């Protein structure tokens, strides 16, 4: 599966009137760079594509959250941060992670 802007926009289901192509392209490029720094991405495969889509989806979700904070209405005990760790991204990328030894 080739990850292009139309594929990402269809996956996240956010229209161009809400998120511009320029912003979405920047988020896609950032997610691709992050994945390439952590994983062996050649040859591409469905698991890495799914993880990439999830990375972009998280970027879009956090776009309007200052400091990644979820407001009072989203939690019983007050504001919360978006978790750093995404289990779905980890699950899809784990077999392709680059091992670094110091």
- For the record, the structure tokens of 60 come out as 């879009």
Going by pLDDT thresholds of 50, 70 and 90, the confidence category of residue 88 is confident
Cα 8 to Cα 53: distance, rounded to the nearest angstrom: 6
The per-residue pLDDT for 29 is 94
Inter-CA distances, 85 with 2, 9, 38, 41, 99, Å: 25, 23, 14, 20, 18
pLDDT at residue 38 is higher than 80: yes
Average pLDDT of every residue of the chain: 83
- For the record, the structure tokens of 94 come out as 């784990």
Residue-range domain boundaries for the chain:
5-96
- Percentage of the chain beyond pLDDT 70 is 78
pLDDT at residue 70 is higher than 80: no
Contact of 98 with 48, CB cutoff 8 Å: no
5, containing H or E segment: helix 5-12
Q: What is the mean pLDDT of residues 46-57?
A: 94
Q: What is the mean pLDDT of residues 30-45?
A: 91
Cα 93 to Cα 62: distance, rounded to the nearest angstrom: 21
Q: What is the mean pLDDT of residues 72-82?
A: 58
């Amino acid at each position: 599966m080739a990850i292009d802007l139309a594929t990402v926009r269809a996956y996240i289901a956010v229209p161009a009137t809400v998120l511009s192509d320029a912003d979405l392209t920047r988020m896609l490029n950032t997610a691709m760079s992050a994945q390439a720094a952590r994983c062996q991405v050649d040859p591409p495969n469905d698991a890495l594509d799914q993880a990439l889509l999830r990375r972009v989806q998280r970027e879009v979700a956090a776009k309007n959250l200052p400091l990644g904070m979820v407001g009072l209405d989203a939690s019983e005990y007050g504001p919360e941060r978006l978790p750093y760790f995404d289990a779905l991204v980890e699950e899809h990328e784990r077999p392709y992670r680059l091992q670094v030894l110091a």
